[in-house]
Structure 1
Amino acid sequence: MSLRPWRDIVRRPSRQIMVGKVPVGGDAPVSVQTMTNTPTTDVRATVDQIRRCEEVGVDIVRVSVPDVESAVALKQIVRAAKVPIVADIHFHYKRALEAADAGAACLRINPGNIGSSARVAEVVRAAKANGCSIRIGVNGGSLERHLLEKYGEPCPDALVESAMDHIKLLQDHDFHEYKVAVKASDLFLAVAAYQQLAEQVDCPLHLGITEAGGLIGGTVKSSIGMGSLLWFGIGDTIRVSLSAEPEEEVRVGYEILKALGIRTRGVRVVSCPSCARQGFDVIRTVEALEARLSHIATPLSLSVLGCVVNGPGEARETDIGLTGGGAGKHMVYLSGITDHTVQDEGMVDHIVRLVEAKAAEIEAAEAAAELAAEALAAQTVVVQAAE
Structure 2
Amino acid sequence: MDVNEWKTERRTTRQISVGDVPVGGMAPVTVQSMTTTKTADVEGTLQQIYALAASGCDIVRCTCNELEAAEGLAQIVPRSPIPVIADIHHQYKMALAAMEAGVHGLRLNPGNIRKPEHIKAVASEARDRNLPIRIGVNAGSLDPKLYEKYGGATPEAMVESAQQEIAYFHDVDFDLIKISVKASSVPLMVEAYRQLADVTDYPLHLGVTEAGPPPAGLVKATAGIATLLMEGIGDTIRYSLTADPVEEAKAGRQLLEALGLRERKNVDLIACPSCGRAEVDVIEVANKAMEAFGERKLPLQVAVMGCVVNGPGEAREADLGIAAGNKRGHLFVKGRNIAVVPEDEMVDALVEWAEFINEHGIEAAIDKADTEKAAREAAKDRSALLEEQGDDANHSTEKIVEIRKTASN
2: CA distance, partners of 1:351 / 1:18: 36
Residue in structure 2 matched with residue 79 of structure 1 by the alignment: 78
Q: How does 1:219-298 map to 2 (within 5 A)?
A: 219-266=218-265, 293=299, 295=301
The answer to whether the 8 Å contact 2:109/2:138 transfers is no
Query: For 1:68-101, what per-residue CA distance to the aligned partner results, in whole angstroms no more than 9, with x for missing partners?
Result: 1111111101111011100000111100000011
How far did 1:8 drift?
Answer: 1.9
Residue in structure 2 matched with residue 44 of structure 1 by the alignment: 43
Residue in structure 2 matched with residue 198 of structure 1 by the alignment: 197
Residue in structure 2 matched with residue 278 of structure 1 by the alignment: none
Q: How does 1:347-362 map to 2 (within 5 A)?
A: 353=359
TM-score calculated relative to the size of structure 1: 0.68
Equivalent AA in structure 2 for residue 179 of structure 1: K
2: CA distance, partners of 1:153 / 1:27: 35
Equivalent AA in structure 1 for residue 83 of structure 2: P
SS at match of 2:301: coil
Q: 1:242 to 1:294 in 2, by over 3 A?
A: farther
How far did 1:58 drift?
Answer: 1.1
1: CA distance, partners of 2:169 / 2:128: 15
Query: For 1:292-330, what per-residue CA distance to the aligned partner results, in whole angstroms no more than 9, with x for missing partners?
Result: 955389xxxxxxxxxxxxxxxxxxxxxxxxxxxxxxxxx
2: CA distance, partners of 1:69 / 1:351: 41
How far did 1:174 drift?
Answer: 0.7
Residue in structure 1 matched with residue 60 of structure 2 by the alignment: 61
2: CA distance, partners of 1:183 / 1:237: 13
Residue in structure 2 matched with residue 167 of structure 1 by the alignment: 166
1: CA distance, partners of 2:188 / 2:244: 26
Query: For 1:32-90, what per-residue CA distance to the aligned partner results, in whole angstroms no more than 9, with x for missing partners?
Result: 00000001111111011001011112110000000111111111011110111000001
2: CA distance, partners of 1:130 / 1:233: 31
2: CA distance, partners of 1:3 / 1:354: 36
% same residue? 47
Equivalent AA in structure 2 for residue 65 of structure 1: C
Higher relative contact order, chain-length normalized (CA < 8 Å, sep 6+): 2
Q: 1:112 to 1:244 in 2, by over 3 A?
A: closer
Residue in structure 1 matched with residue 334 of structure 2 by the alignment: none
2: CA distance, partners of 1:27 / 1:106: 20
2: CA distance, partners of 1:34 / 1:9: 24
Residue in structure 2 matched with residue 94 of structure 1 by the alignment: 93
Equivalent AA in structure 1 for residue 81 of structure 2: K
Structure 1, unpaired ranges of 5+: 268-291, 298-348, 356-387
1: CA distance, partners of 2:213 / 2:111: 31
The answer to whether the 8 Å contact 2:111/2:141 transfers is no
Superposed structure 1 runs of 4+ greater than 6 Å apart = none
2: CA distance, partners of 1:149 / 1:21: 41
Query: For 1:107-144, what per-residue CA distance to the aligned partner results, in whole angstroms no more than 9, with x for missing partners?
Result: 10135743433322321222123331000000011111
The answer to whether the 8 Å contact 2:110/2:143 transfers is no
Structure 2, unpaired ranges of 5+: 267-297, 304-354, 362-409
Residue in structure 2 matched with residue 157 of structure 1 by the alignment: 156
2: CA distance, partners of 1:109 / 1:5: 37
How far did 1:350 drift?
Answer: 11
The answer to whether the 8 Å contact 2:181/2:193 transfers is yes
